[in-house]
A = this chain, B = another copy of it.
Amino acid sequence: MKSKQSLGVVGKPVHRLDGIEKVTGAARYAADLSIEGAVEGKVLRSPYPHGIIRSVDAKEAEKLEGVLGVVTSSDFKNDDPYLGSTYKDQPVIAMDRVRYVGEPVSAVAAVDEATAEAALELIKVEYDVLPAVSNLDEAMFEGAPLIHEKIQKQGEFPNFCYREDLKKGDVEEGFRLADEIFEDTFEFPMIYHYAMEPHTVIARVESNGMTVWAATQDPFVLRADLASIFRLPLSNIRVVAPYIGGGYGSKTGIAVEPLAVALSRKIGRPVRIVQSIADSMVTSRRHAMRCWVKTGVKASGEITAREAKIYLDTGAYTETGPNTTSRATVRVLGPYRYPHFKVSACCVFTNTVPASSFRAVGGAQTVWASESQMDIIAAKLKIDPHEFRKKNMLARGESLYPGIKPMDANLRQGLRKVIKAVGKKRGRGERNRAIGIAVGVTNSGGSGASTAVVRLHQDGSLTVLVGTTEIGQGSRTVLCQIAAEELGVPLSSVSLIPSDTAFTSFDASTHSSRSTTVMGEAVQRATQDAKRQLIRFAAEMTKQKASRIKFADGLIECDGKRITVKEVLLSHFGSAGGEIIGRGYTGKKERPLFWEVGLGSAMVVVDPETGMVEIEKYITAADVGQAINPQLCEGQDEGAAMQGIGHTLSESLVYEDGQLLNPNLIDYKVPGFADLPTQFESLLIENHDGPGPFRSKGIGEGGILCVAPAVANAIATAHGVRIKTLPLTPERVWRALKDRKAASAETKKP
């Protein structure tokens, strides 16, 4: 642990800079923007999970009064309308085939939403319906209908998409050394991100390019995709990301943006597409996962080997499947020491919505499996689950396998803290109540590439220009705090320019908890660069060596004399003045950037009559290195845990025969305020050991990892039932309790 630095603005729970705008409703999200002349776009989606498109006839729709234009696949003839960072297999609009219910087939622009909706119904599409597969079992059986007949690589089974393997040592040898071997299969459902703001875009095609206002986490990725689809120079595409109403990964990929662009191009007016929640539910979702875990242990509790086979349901197109598959291979291991392991993970096509990134990609699903099994093992070995984990846990500096960045956090300390905070294990005489714990780590996979520009004005105020998007995480506030700290000025002297590819410089993305660490460093470097120039100009002015000049509290000090920024700039640039441009690049970095750590402990009570699970107390802890803004860190961590409560207790997108049965917020239950744990706390662990500015680390994903296993572990402790499928709905829990009772009664039979 490094010593704590003396800090001014950093480390303070200052109010978020976008707070007033947001609570007063003044903050504008994409749908709130008033773009002159904009008309409404609506998307016609496939009603079939799988089929050949025989014809699309939009004549009647085009004739409807108020309809300005209809686009179909034929409008993309001169474009390159395919998406996919690994395989370019996803058309922006169905070409000759549909592969999931909800796939865009056509789009309409009209004077208002109602007209556009009415027009959709007049578009006649003829399909030859094909057999479909809704889940892993249907997709993988011998003879299953193939979703990508032509392009699909011959894999081990039908509808194979991608495979990744990871191993260390000889796993068979590891199992030979074990006293006990455990094999369990866990199921994680398909989850919807539920960002409060659905996917929204306004596109305006201009004489030599376009402006696109989009609810996107990654404006630079969207820009590159649009440039590729529409064959334009990057400099002619402006993507503006205003405030974003949550992302969680759902807004990292491209959605309906190209359709809005094609409509605008066709009709010569800006076109807005505001999706409904139902639309967004058929736009992106989390990978469902089946995870088989086999672990060998000594009777004393040392793990000797782990094997895992993971299957991810990636939906109808490749999208982020390979990346998620790859992350799952590492994340299923947890933060433990394995002499031998062998992991293989595959993603599989199904006729469902293509899966995208989702907070802690591949992590929530695999930690659910791994941490559940850790408690199964501890119970069998009769070792306290805390002790069992501690025994096998990676120490700081120890590597999960050769070549990967060593563990950079003190996990044991964190685990102690969450256990201490949750308190006594069980209330006296309260047999339905118990605590469960879990630990999860993710190898932060974010890119190291960010660029920041700062502008130091004559009055000493500073403008920070960054491509990072404000998706609710507080990036604007945190990045301003970093700049203010580095410059040594109050926060009120710093303003931030929101992400806009026309003005703000390149950023790889806003995901993988990378913004504070990577963009934060770019902002810090840009500020240092501006400061260095200022000092050089001051040296010129005072004819002193730069080393004798200091900058503090917004003033230049030289030989005890204090000079203002304005004086220096006037001296350098002349009487009209000027400003200093500071730039900061970050580039290639060791991966993971850091280990993101999530720790959780839950006190849970189950109503045996109804199977209803209540989380009375939930403690989540984030290892933040140095909190740039503790209040925002806690907000992020609590938000992640709350989202974890969703998939733990209630959330699941249900498909049957390729049809999504619950594409609405009535039938798909996200947690509300009533579902908050009665006691809910976030602990920040600050060991000043992060790679980011002021020794910070990225956070925001870890909190989602531990909820499900901690709750399931608590239920198992209280009731002796081990549920391996999420969500832990009352029915599922009640059935498990009933089955256990029956089994127990059976056992007691003479």
Q: With an 8 A cutoff between CB atoms, is A379 at the interface?
A: no
Q: With an 8 A cutoff between CB atoms, is A503 at the interface?
A: yes
Complex Cα–Cα for A504 and B503 (A)? 8
Which B residue's beta carbon lies closest to that of A571? B588
Q: With an 8 A cutoff between CB atoms, is A447 at the interface?
A: yes
- If the complex has contacts A20-B207, A453-B453, are A236 and B461 also in contact, measured as CB distance less than 8 A? yes
Which B residue's beta carbon lies closest to that of A509? B576
Copies in the complex: 2
Closest CB in chain B relative to A402 CB, distance in Å: 22
Which B residue's beta carbon lies closest to that of A503? B503
Complex Cα–Cα for A575 and B323 (A)? 14
Complex Cα–Cα for A459 and B233 (A)? 7
Interface mask (A331-342 → B, CB under 8 Å = 1, otherwise 0): 000000000000
Contact A26 B575 (CB under 8 A): no
Q: Which of A252-260, A490-498, A654-662 contacts B (4 or more CB under 8 A)?
A: A490-498
Q: With an 8 A cutoff between CB atoms, is A383 at the interface?
A: no
Interface mask (A125-155 → B, CB under 8 Å = 1, otherwise 0): 0000000000000000000000000000000
Contact B506 A459 (CB under 8 A): no
Contact A508 B577 (CB under 8 A): yes
Contact B509 A457 (CB under 8 A): no
Complex Cα–Cα for A21 and B209 (A)? 12
Contact B461 A234 (CB under 8 A): yes
Tell me which of B236, B459, B509, B589 contacts A495 (CB under 8 A): B236
Q: With an 8 A cutoff between CB atoms, is A455 at the interface?
A: yes
Complex Cα–Cα for A576 and B581 (A)? 24
Closest CB in chain B relative to A303 CB, distance in Å: 34
A448 contacts which chain B residues (CB < 8 A)? 573-574, 576
A578 contacts which chain B residues (CB < 8 A)? 449, 451, 506, 508, 585, 587
Interface mask (A488-522 → B, CB under 8 Å = 1, otherwise 0): 00001111010010111110110000000000000
Interface mask (A597-609 → B, CB under 8 Å = 1, otherwise 0): 0000000000000
A579 contacts which chain B residues (CB < 8 A)? 451, 505-506
A451 contacts which chain B residues (CB < 8 A)? 578-579, 581
Closest CB in chain B relative to A665 CB, distance in Å: 29
A55 contacts which chain B residues (CB < 8 A)? none
Complex Cα–Cα for A573 and B506 (A)? 11
- If the complex has contacts A508-B576, A587-B574, are A233 and B461 also in contact, measured as CB distance less than 8 A? yes
Contact A447 B575 (CB under 8 A): yes
A495 contacts which chain B residues (CB < 8 A)? 208-209, 233, 235-236
A502 contacts which chain B residues (CB < 8 A)? 463, 497, 503
Contact A457 B572 (CB under 8 A): no
Tell me which of B17, B34, B235, B463 contacts A462 (CB under 8 A): B235
A273 contacts which chain B residues (CB < 8 A)? none
Q: With an 8 A cutoff between CB atoms, is A664 at the interface?
A: no
A227 contacts which chain B residues (CB < 8 A)? 459
A455 contacts which chain B residues (CB < 8 A)? 235, 505-506
- If the complex has contacts A36-B34, A227-B459, are A577 and B449 also in contact, measured as CB distance less than 8 A? yes
Q: With an 8 A cutoff between CB atoms, is A465 at the interface?
A: yes
Complex Cα–Cα for A362 and B194 (A)? 65
A21 contacts which chain B residues (CB < 8 A)? 206-207
Q: With an 8 A cutoff between CB atoms, is A458 at the interface?
A: yes
Q: With an 8 A cutoff between CB atoms, is A583 at the interface?
A: yes
A572 contacts which chain B residues (CB < 8 A)? 587-588
Contact B461 A573 (CB under 8 A): no
A493 contacts which chain B residues (CB < 8 A)? 233, 235
A458 contacts which chain B residues (CB < 8 A)? 224, 234
Interface mask (A56-99 → B, CB under 8 Å = 1, otherwise 0): 00000000000000000000000000000000000000000000
Contact B449 A235 (CB under 8 A): no
Complex Cα–Cα for A694 and B26 (A)? 48
Complex Cα–Cα for A465 and B502 (A)? 9
Complex Cα–Cα for A296 and B473 (A)? 78
A497 contacts which chain B residues (CB < 8 A)? 502-503
Complex Cα–Cα for A462 and B234 (A)? 8
Q: A447-B575, A453-B581, A503-B503 are in contact. List 18 more A-B contacts (CB 8 A).
A: A34-B34, A208-B492, A208-B495, A209-B495, A233-B492, A234-B459, A235-B455, A447-B576, A449-B573, A451-B579, A457-B506, A497-B502, A497-B503, A500-B503, A505-B579, A505-B581, A508-B578, A572-B587
Q: List 14 A-B contacts (CB under 8 A).
A: A17-B208, A21-B207, A208-B495, A233-B459, A233-B460, A235-B457, A235-B462, A235-B494, A451-B579, A503-B503, A506-B578, A506-B579, A573-B587, A573-B588
